[in-house]
Structure 1
Amino acid sequence: MATDIEDIEGIEGIGDTARPVHAAALMRLLPLRPRLLALGEPTHGEETLLHLRNELFRRLVEEHGYRTIAIESDCMRGLSVDDHVTSGTGTLDEAVEHGISHGWGAFPANRELVRWMRQFNHGRPASDRLRFAGFDGPLEITAAASPREALRALHDHLSPRVETDLLPCTAETLDRLLGADDRWTEPAAMLDPSRSVGRSADAGRLRLIADDLAALLDAQAPHLIASTSREEWDRARLYARTATGLLRYHDAMADTSPARLTRLVSVRDQMMADNLLALAARGPVLVHAHNAHLQRAKSSMTMGGRPLGWWSAGALAGVRLGADYAFVATALGTLRHHGVDAPPPDTLEGLLYRLPGPHRLVDPRRLAAALGDTPPAIRTSPWFGYAPFDPAHLADSDGLVFVRDVPGDGR
């Protein structure tokens, strides 16, 4: 029999942990301040969830020393947003339009986040400024970017600073091997591996060159950091991670085996994880992305009629960071403008829907213990863009944010 909400509230400790979503309450759920605090969302593009993220980040900055936010957006494009919030480079309009991918720069809450970060940084020393990062690869649902930008940026960083004989090739050779960018960004390659350039002879040569350039960057680190800065070297390492990751992704696009789609989603999350680990090395970070990219449990989805399973960026980073990684999932009650009405009472969302207040923070492990061996049913969604929370993942989460109703006019 499913557990009623009255039973949950009556169990010692559960009612006490169903609090409004505040940074202080969240931190009390954690054994320490994690270097990567991951806030998941079950759907993209809802202003209610983005505003909640913004408010949580403000409090984490003001009360707990966080100085970086990373979102599920192109890591290369995100550099221009970081330049804007740290140094005032460009305008706010330019930063959100060109620096946030997937069209998400158009969301008012993302614009407000960048505006507030720039305002916070004004007049502060560089060591105390807020930083912005995209941690996704330069990938869209239908295509992957050409590796040109990342490879050329990495080569351009190295070529004036190391002996010419140490470089694996010239810039001209890079351009010749890359060819036209549109052969890399061919949309048809997502469904037809024969249209991908990822396993051509040129691509194979570029993978070796990218690996050699990345190794040279690490081997020359003392000299490169002394001649520029740690900041410039870190940025060049981002170029290296992106170049090698993109070339792996293009190789997977050309794969004709049944594992092709699993390889694609796995490579993407590996790129995300590598970026998150690099960000965590410089200080505590709030990460915001889909629950499926951040959860500790193995992620799954159906694509092209085939079930896929892979380890998320959060799972990969979490095994490296241990207690320095924390995952806070978000679940929601209604998303009526997408046909998601009040949740069935026998689901986890249905139980939480009867809690008071617009949004609550719950201790998921205590909730899992309270539910015992009879967890609620898994909710099903009538809309593909919303993924309900799996109650089996409660014990793998460090916090659970429940948003009761997400209005459709939030933008």
Structure 2
Amino acid sequence: MTAASLGDAARPFTAAALADLVPAGTRLLALGEPTHGAEEFLDLRNELFRHLVTAHGYRSIAVESDCLAARTVDAYLDGADGELDTVLREGFGHGFGAYAGNRELVRWAREFNASAGADERIRFYGADGPLEYTGAAAPGPALLRLHDFLTTRLPGQPLPAREELLYLHGPDDRWTEPAAALDPARSIGRTEDAVRLRLLADELNLLLAAHRPQFQHEQDALWQAELDARTATGLLRYHAATAGDGPDRLNSLMRQRGLMIADNVEAILHREARRGPTLLFAHNRHLQRTAARIPLGEQLLQWWSAGSLLESRLGDGYAFLATAFGHRAPDDHPAPDTLEGLLATLPFPRSVLDPRQLDAFIGESGGVKARVPADHTYFGLDPAELGRLDGVVFVREIARQQGLFGGGDA
């Protein structure tokens, strides 16, 4: 394959060029990133989202971040008072509020909303559960809010006593013990109290679902109640999986997270249906249409990704744009015979590629391999999966990330 023939599949990146690859009828446009913490991918996400809002009627974005914390960001976009630094710190999970690209997204969306009508304002969502790298949040706050919502609206219904919920739950730190991430014996998730709490949470969920028509006139309060219901039950399932000690424990945790993301996003699409499509931004591994696989020591983690779950629910309404990079400072270079090594020969700093044309070119030449990552912080594009993509963005060079995603001693 020559650079010229490869060039037939590529264009320099513009948001419009990337949007041209999105199929008609897309309800959820998923944009992946190959690694967290690289500002280059946040920048191109912002460029794409601005174009989608101004040219294609998008009015919502969901990101790989805490679904409950994101309410703080959304309120700020709607004009709530607050310092931007505080909103970013409290409104993003995983420390993602520290990134300049996320600051710019929030700043621009608030500015857009200041002159937009009520039905035209941008909404911001977190797609992920309240999960951090050291473990999951306690389910109590969401469960108690759900209980309070139902208590004030269903006075004649025999609800579980709030005092019993408080007793069974106990202090939050029973649930957020960091050691439980690696030691299932330190998790509270399968104790008698947790099992009983999970049963009561199911009763509250049932009441909310059964009486939903009664609450239709108060859409914002209903949205919060259903978010709390999903989150509380999802966290109880996650903590139960954390307490498991079988060989499938880590796969189970990944499955639980994938389901929480898919359920949150499906609810977002239902809420946003009359306002337009939604942009979803997360790691490529979460959004891919195929099962996710991550090597961990001698074990291979495998689970159905949130993207595969969402495609199974949305069909042609789901579109996925993947991203990749070439050189990462200071010395991470793709081998020439890998897909990223091939794309690095393109003349553009950022390229938009039609994956079907790219797949056809690779099929003619052969010999293109998947990139072996230099460390644990990213995963390369698999040439065999190009047919399952709607578009590819290749960034020729990214700066070394800071902190957890920087690799080495960053």
- What interval of TM-score do these two structures reach, taking the shorter chain for normalisation? over 0.9
**Residues 48 and 308 (structure 1 numbering): CA distance in 2 closer, same or farther, change over 3 Å?**
same
Tell me if structure 1 keeps the 8 A contact 2:23–2:319: no
CA distance in 2, matches of 1:160, 1:393: 51
Q: After superposition, what is the alpha-carbon deviation per residue over 1:48-84, rounded to whole angstroms, capped at 9, x for unaligned?
A: 1111111111111111111111111100100110111
Counterpart among 235, 246, 260 of residue 271 in structure 1: 260
Tell me if structure 2 keeps the 8 A contact 1:27–1:33: no
The Cα shift of 1:253 comes to 0.5
Q: Equivalent residue for 1:130?
A: 122
**Residues 5 and 185 (structure 1 numbering): CA distance in 2 closer, same or farther, change over 3 Å?**
farther
Q: 1:363 is aligned with what amino acid? A: D
Q: Which runs of 5+ in 2 are unaligned?
A: 404-410
CA distance in 2, matches of 1:71, 1:28: 22
Q: After superposition, what is the alpha-carbon deviation per residue over 1:153-211, rounded to whole angstroms, capped at 9, x for unaligned?
A: 111211101134342x1221111110011110111111111111100111111111111
Q: Equivalent residue for 1:324?
A: 317
What is the 5 A alignment of 1:289-368?
Answer: 289-303=282-296, 305-337=298-330, 339-341=331-333, 343-368=334-359
Q: Equivalent residue for 2:192?
A: 201
Q: Equivalent residue for 1:65?
A: 57
Q: Equivalent residue for 2:107?
A: 115
Q: 2:267 is aligned with what amino acid? A: A
CA distance in 2, matches of 1:401, 1:72: 19
CA distance in 2, matches of 1:60, 1:119: 16
Tell me if structure 2 keeps the 8 A contact 1:38–1:328: yes
CA distance in 2, matches of 1:115, 1:129: 14
* 1:178 partnered with 2:163: no
Q: 1:36 is aligned with what amino acid? A: L
User: Which segment is superposed worse, 82-91 or 239-248?
Assistant: 82-91
Counterpart among 22, 28, 31 of residue 30 in structure 1: 22
The Cα shift of 1:25 comes to 2.0
SS at match of 2:49: helix
SS at match of 1:309: strand
Q: Which runs of 5+ in 1 are unaligned?
A: none
Please give the root-mean-square deviation of Cα atoms over the aligned residues, in Å. Answer: 1.7
Q: 2:26 is aligned with what amino acid? A: P
The Cα shift of 1:237 comes to 0.8
Tell me if structure 2 keeps the 8 A contact 1:184–1:197: yes
**Residues 249 and 364 (structure 1 numbering): CA distance in 2 closer, same or farther, change over 3 Å?**
same
Moved over 4 A (4+): none
Q: Equivalent residue for 2:48?
A: 56
Tell me if structure 2 keeps the 8 A contact 1:47–1:410: no
CA distance in 2, matches of 1:361, 1:264: 34
Q: 1:407 is aligned with what amino acid? A: A
CA distance in 1, matches of 2:210, 2:119: 27
Tell me if structure 2 keeps the 8 A contact 1:5–1:354: no
Tell me if structure 1 keeps the 8 A contact 2:7–2:346: no
CA distance in 2, matches of 1:162, 1:65: 38
The Cα shift of 1:304 comes to 5.5
CA distance in 1, matches of 2:143, 2:237: 13
The Cα shift of 1:16 comes to 4.1
Q: After superposition, what is the alpha-carbon deviation per residue over 1:258-304, rounded to whole angstroms, capped at 9, x for unaligned?
A: 11100000100100000111111214111111100000011111235
* 1:141 partnered with 2:133: yes
Tell me if structure 1 keeps the 8 A contact 2:327–2:397: yes
- The size of the alignment, in residue pairs, is 398
Tell me if structure 1 keeps the 8 A contact 2:94–2:133: no
Tell me if structure 2 keeps the 8 A contact 1:340–1:383: no
* 1:244 partnered with 2:233: yes
- TM-score normalized by the length of structure 2: 0.93
* 1:254 partnered with 2:243: yes
Q: After superposition, what is the alpha-carbon deviation per residue over 1:220-266, rounded to whole angstroms, capped at 9, x for unaligned?
A: 1121223xx11221221111111111000000011111111000001
SS at match of 2:176: coil
CA distance in 2, matches of 1:410, 1:185: 26
Q: Equivalent residue for 1:385?
A: 377
The Cα shift of 1:369 comes to 2.2
Percent identity, aligned pairs only, is 51
Tell me if structure 1 keeps the 8 A contact 2:26–2:319: yes
